[in-house]
Amino acid sequence: MEIVDIHLDSVDSTQTYAKEHRKEFDSDKITCISAEEQTKGKGRFTRKWISPKGGNLYVTFYFQLPAQSLHLSSLGQILVLSVTKLFIKENLCPKIKWPNDVLLGGKKVAGILCEMEFEEDVAHVFLGIGINVNMEEGILHSIDQPATSLSVSTGKKWDTKTLLKDLQKQFLKDFDIFCKEGFTPFHCQFENLMAYKGEPVTCYDGQKEWKGICHSLCNDGQLNIYLPNGDIKTLSSGDIHFKIK
Ligand code: BTN
């Protein structure tokens, strides 16, 4: 599939922009909206995504898929794998905090927000990613969880344009496979990069906290938690807060 780029100087949120303008986009292509800064960047679970000007990546990929597509809810996990592959090529050692946070040295460097709107048999997908690229220590400290940036982790400045081009290339490759075979071909890659495997974790599914051992990943990207009573609880990526116990 082909990618069409829209680059904005400043926007409230690339997600919001994509939702407001989606009817103008080519439905056979992926539209990639990026911005220098966001004034109302959105994270998962109504959190904010701190999005100052100054060399970070704020991007939303918009595309349409058949609503019945296989493993649709794992799309964020496909993108998270694309990011980790770029980082590994740069000799970094990323980990994935399930379902789709990228960690470097145990601190969050990138997050993904995947939102969908369904219209008859079409899923409109708004797949957003924020990467702290050249974010400085001072701003990282204002984030409500341990966070890092590529520049802080590696001690050098990064070129956001090159990073975005590389990300688009890698995502296109992964997306093509996903469209044919769903999450299954990515299962092992993902599980191998998963942080906290075998460790105690707590997951909140919007109603209940599940405490147990982070056990394994299903073929469709769901997480198995081994509960103290010996049961396995399977959690879907769509609606879970995940933290170490
Ligand atoms: C998270 O980890 O909570 C998800 C963060 C997603 C942030 C990106 S930045 C580009 C896109 N636009 C937004 O407003 N949010 C996503």
Q: Which residues contact 86 (CB under 8 A, 6 or more apart)?
A: 163, 166, 167, 170
What ligand 1 atom has the least distance to the C-alpha of 100? 2
| Segments of the chain scoring below 50 in pLDDT | 239, 245
- Residue 195: other Cβ atoms inside 10 A: 18
The pLDDT assigned to 117 comes to: 94
Pocket lining: 44 vs ligand 1, CB cutoff 6 Å: yes
The pLDDT assigned to 239 comes to: 43
Instruction: Tell how far the Cα of 232 is from the centroid of ligand 1, in angstroms.
Output: 31
What ligand 1 atom has the least distance to the C-alpha of 110? 2
Pocket lining: 38 vs ligand 1, CB cutoff 6 Å: yes
Task: Give the whole-angstrom CA distance, residue 139 versus residue 93.
Answer: 23
- Residue 156: other Cβ atoms inside 10 A: 8
Tell me the best of 42, 45, 101 to mutate to test the pocket of ligand 1, counting ligand atoms within 8 Å of each CB and taking the most: 42
* β partners of residue 83: none
Task: Give the whole-angstrom CA distance, residue 132 versus residue 108.
Answer: 9
The pLDDT assigned to 241 comes to: 53
The pLDDT assigned to 45 comes to: 82
Return the closest-CA partner of residue 61 out of 187, 189, 164, 186: 164
Confidence (pTM): 0.94
Amino acid (1-letter code) at residue 13: S
* β partners of residue 48: 42
Please write down the HEC assignment for all residues of the chain. Answer: CCEEEEEEEEECCHHHHHHHHHHHCCCCCEEEEEEEEECCCECHHHCECCCCCCCCEEEEEEEEEECCCCCHHHHHHHHHHHHHHHHHHCCCCCEEECCCEEEECCEEEEEEEEEEEEECCEEEEEEEEEECCCCCHHHHHCCCCCECCHHHHHCCCCCHHHHHHHHHHHHHHHHHHHHHHCCHHHHHHHHHHECCCCCEEEEECCCCEEEEEEEEECCCCCEEEECCCCCEEEECHHHCEEEEC
Instruction: Tell how far the Cα of 57 is from the centroid of ligand 1, in angstroms.
Output: 10
Instruction: Tell how far the Cα of 130 is from the centroid of ligand 1, in angstroms.
Output: 5
Task: Give the whole-angstrom CA distance, residue 113 versus residue 99.
Answer: 11
Q: Is the distance from CB of 14 to CB of 128 less than 8 angstroms?
A: yes
pLDDT, tens only, 31-81: 999 999 999 999 988 889 999 998 999 999 999 999 999 889 899 999 999
